[in-house]
Amino acid sequence: MVNVPSIELNDGNKMPQVGFGLWKVENDKAADIVYNAIKTGYRLFDGACDYGNEVEAGQGVARAIKEGIVKREELFIVSKLWNTFHEPEQVEPIVKKQLADWGIDYFDLYVIHFPVAIKYVAPEVRYPPGWFVDGDSKVEYSKASLQSTWHAFEDIQKKGLAKSIGVSNYSGALLLDLFAYANTKPATLQIEHHPYLVQPKILELAKSENVAVTGYSSFGPQSFIDGDMSLAETVPLLFDHPVIKKVADAHSKTTAQVLLRWATQRGLAVIPKSSSQGRLEQNLDVTSFDLTEEEIAEISGLDKNLRFNAPLNWGIPIPLFS
């Protein structure tokens, strides 16, 4: 089985450097995929309320534990707070619901999914709630500040509902503000990261504050073509890019493995998603070979500061990254 290194977080917990992302994993396949991923050697699962598959992912985990393939404490289960639950009094109830969905009693890491508070929608009304208060097109913001949500995160950590707490999709400015009010610093930052969005400055800031960074959408446009985003069709697929292909040939690896190794050698954790057993296996084996400094620099040189995962790109009128 592949030996995956761990990253030591600033709270002393250890996070596997390679995990499995659950976005767009179909409900009817999620339990089997998670179970097979555990058998393959994955220990970190990156879930979220918004992915709508936490119940099924939890069933895969339960089966693997029941069969003695893994113990709960060997897994690192990540979930995220959706935007409609930012009011401090909503945080604990929704974490408890998400834990119940997974069938576990703590998350290893719980993350603020996006730095935007939108109006509460009760789980009985619609779950996952999505971006729109009416489930259609109407955006309504909530008055919850990110500071108040973070303090609620500190409380759930104290109560043992999440061993580590972190943030996602934060800018440098939001991180600096968070460092000013946090009693407990975020253990991790999760951001979009691929050769078209290299983000060197926020990585430097995170490193200087000892915040571990997880890169998502490591394959760049691929994941967004799946989501029918026209922006993703404006650039060459990274899998077909001559620079990535040249490096892959030089190491007898796949282009996907090169993209993941480029990120892990830059110190990030990665959480690729795949519905195929073969691809899932190769995506785990991305720390056993090394790219040269020149190859890393050449890949970083493909930067276009091109962000796919912004609400506006999905037709959601929230200028989060503007």
Q: Name the residues that contact ligand NAP, by CB under 6 A.
A: 21-24, 46, 113, 168-169, 190, 216-219, 222-223, 226, 239, 254, 256, 271-276, 279, 282-283, 309
Per-residue tokens: 96: 């408890």
Give least dist CB 258 to ligand NAP, A: 10
> Among 35, 42, 51, 216, which one carries the catalytic annotation?
51
Residues 37, 62 contacting (CB under 8 angstroms): no
Residue where the block lists tokens 């089997």: 32
User: Does 251 appear as a known binding residue?
Assistant: no
Is the backbone peptide bond immediately before 123 cis, with ω within 30 degrees of 0? no
CB of 73 to ligand NAP, least distance (A): 22
194, 215 in Cβ contact below 8 A? Answer: yes
Residue whose CB is less far from ligand NAP, 150 or 293: 150
Angle (nearest 5°) at CA 171 between 76 and 296: 70
8-state DSSP, 194:
B
- Residue 197's φ and ψ, nearest 5 degrees, are -145, 85
CB 232, min distance to ligand NAP, A: 11
How many whole angstroms separate alpha carbon 25 and alpha carbon 31? Answer: 10
158, two tokens: 């104290």
120 is annotated as an active-site residue: no
Q: Which is nearer to ligand NAP, 91 or 286 (CB)?
A: 286
Q: What angle do CA 43, 90, 74 make, to 5 degrees?
A: 15
| Burial state string for 120-129 with b = 16 or more CB within 10 A and e = fewer than 16 | bbebeeebeb
Query: Is the CB of 122 or the CB of 232 nearer to ligand NAP?
Result: 232
Q: Least separation, in Å, of the C-beta of 39 and ligand NAP?
A: 17
Residue nearest to ligand NAP (CB): 21
Number of Cβ atoms within 10 Å of the Cβ of 103: 14
Considering beta carbons, is residue 67 or 288 the nearer one to ligand NAP?
Answer: 288
Do residues 48 and 82 make contact, with C-beta atoms less than 8 angstroms apart?
yes
- The residue among 217 and 265 lying less far from ligand NAP, judged by its C-beta, is 217
CB 46 to ligand NAP: min, Å: 4
| Residues annotated catalytic, as ranges | 51
Provide the annotated binding site: 113
Residues belonging to the binding site for substrate are: 113
